[in-house]
Each structure stands twice: as C-alpha cells, then as structure tokens.
Amino acid sequence: MTAPPAIPLSRWADAQLEAMAMRTGSDAIAALRGGTLLGERAVANGFAVPGRRSAGGGCRLYDTLDTPVALTLARADDRALLPALFGDATADDSGDAVIAERMARAHACDLVARGRMLGLAIAALDEAPSNPALTIMAKGGAAPVTDRAPLVIDLTALWAGPLAGHLLGLTGAQVIKVESRNRPDRMREGDPALFARLNQGKANIALDLREPTDRDSLIALIRRADIVLEAARPRALRQLGIDADQLVRETSGLVWVTITGHGMVGDAAEWIGFGDDCSVAGGLSAALRDATSAIGFGGDACADPLTGIVAARAALDKRAQGVGARLILSMSGVVAQALAEERAQDEATLIATLTHWKAAQGHLFPAIALRPTGPVASLGADNALWFPQHAPC
C-alpha cells in the first residue's frame, strides 16, 4: 500500500462533528476528526483491518445457503444459545469451524429470525434496517430559560452512549455517568483505555435500580436534567418502573436519547445489536462486497462511534429548538443513513475508500495520535454529592 486507508464513513463522521462544532462553538469538538473516533480503539489495541472476523474478534461473517450472516458471540452465555439456533443439541460448545458448517446448511433469513428471537446479535449482509436512524417517540414541553451548563444523565455503557456523553461534555455540559452497583459498565475492565477516553471528566454515581429508594432518587435526578442518554430495551425500563415517555412529557425541555440496535418500532425493538453486526445490518459490508467482491467488516464496530456522534448532535439540535422530546436512534439505521448520504455526495470516493480498505486487510489500522485522557471517577465516587440523603456506597 502506498498510503494508509481512510476508515470507511470517517468523512461522514467529520461532517457531523463539524455541524456540532458550528452549533456549539466548541473548540474541542472542532479539533476532533471522525477517523480518530472511529479508529482509536483499534489503534490502541493493535487491531488489524478486518476480513471476515471483526477487528475486536467478537463477531464473524459466515456463509449460508444464500447471503452471509454476521453473528456476535461476545457475551458469556451466547454460545449456550447455539443449540436452539441450529436445532442441534451438540452445538453448545462449537468452535468456528463447526459453526461455519452449520451456518452453511441454512438460509440467512431463517437464521437471523431465529437468532433474534433467541436474543443473539445477528444480521444478514443484504438486509435493510427496520427503522430509520432517528425517530421521535414522544414530545415534551418548552425548555426553561437558564444560563447554566446543561445537565446530562448518562445511563449508558460500552461505547456509543458513553461517547455521546463525552462529546456533550466537550461542549460544556455537566455529565453524570450512572452505573449499576452490581453490574458496572463492562468497558471498565474490558478496555480500560477506551473507558477512560469515553468517560473522562464525568461525575459518577452507582445505584441499584431494583431498590425503590435508588430508583426514586434517579427519577428525581432525571427531572432536574436537560438531556438523558439511555440504551436499554423497552421492557428493561418498564420492569424498573421508569417511563421515559412520561418523564419527557412531564419534565419541561427534557431531551431523552435512547440508543438501540435496530430501533423501537415493531419487532426490532427487542433485537439485540452490537457495533459490528449493526454495521452489517446497516449495509456497510454489503457496500464493501459490491465495491470489491470481498466479504469483510468496514471498520471497527463503526456503528458504535457513528451512533455516539449522531446521538450527541441530535440531542444538541433538539435542545437548541427549545423543546423536549424522546429521540430513538437505531445503530443500523445510522450506518444506512451515512452510506446513503455518502453515495449521494460522492459515490466514486466512497467506492475508492472501500477498495483501499479491502486492500489493507490484515494490516494494522491506520495510525492516529491517540487522544489524552483526563480524570476518571471511581464507581459511585459522587453519590454523596448528588444524593446527600444516602450514605455513600
């Protein structure tokens, strides 16, 4: 290769960051580049440009009787679902070769439908997203006039949501990260460097939302907030006694952003999705195949950082309108929108980027200067500050 490849869709990410910088006047946002946010995890961990196995290793593209399928097996109990996926009781401890053999016997649509019903993160190469990138589910009242910095409650974990909270923090917002005392953000231990980049400078409170006192305290805090970031499936919130739509309607100016794999309309509301399989569902791997005849991933779980950027921009845009709303983001929809807009703007450049990306398979991700990290609060470090009526955890 004569030059390192651009990460696919990084130019589109640049455009979102530029719009956010113009909206807020934030020098910190203006200094960011899309390729940095899409590539920093890969560069920090020494990942290679992926082929059929994702850069992080948790997802793989398998051939079926028709179109390839992406299956993520990142959680401890995912493999226990393989016998039901394949209708084979011997498939619970299968290696990749055995999984590939079973995949090759089935049609993609059957595997994806069954896998999603089981709770697996799975997607077909040629599917179309079930929901658009952004949907407004509930509308709220006008925001009160205030000159204080926006208060953001970040209920998310892993990558997309924490990145959105981080970007909002760079625009001057006060961000509080909320974690479960019993199940903290898995990124703390899984990738401490990325966790530090995404959560630096945030306050931290730790709660057990199964406890009525903790749940009531969180709801009271949300009623003081300007923006909420959340990524739970609908039934998870309902089971905790938190009605996001009602809180938006009752809290003047509250902008509530829900990040999902595939949206919240129809069956897709209950589908599991992670960055790599959602990128496939959004059409990025299909675009790579169409441009190069190669099967592979178009980045490092790029649906995650792309959605984080879009979530922050959407929250700021809605807040600038001065009214509350509940915004539903679909990670697969975000990728599909990015691809559509890139094609409309300059399809030749998109194809050239994908072609260059394919040629780089097996090489290290293009080098970037890693962003420095600031202070990261320990779990529950700010409980006493925000909930002085409770003893610190």
Q: Are 206 and 384 in contact (CB under 8 A)?
A: no
CA 322 to chain centre: 26
Question: Edge-to-edge, what's the strand order for the sheet holding 121-124?
Answer: 59-62, 69-72, 121-124
* pLDDT confidence band for 92 (50 / 70 / 90): low
The structural domains of the chain, ordered by start, are 10-44+130-266+299-358+372-386 (3.40.50.10540)
Mean pLDDT of 84-95: 78
The β-bridge relationship of strands 227-230 and 121-124 is unpaired
| Whether residue 1 has pLDDT greater than 50 | no
* Residue 93 buriedness (CB in 10 A; 0-12 / 13-18 / 19+): exposed
Given this model, what pLDDT does residue 393 score?
45
Given this model, what pLDDT does residue 240 score?
86
Given this model, what pLDDT does residue 151 score?
98
Q: Are 62 and 72 in contact (CB under 8 A)?
A: no
Mean pLDDT of 177-189: 96
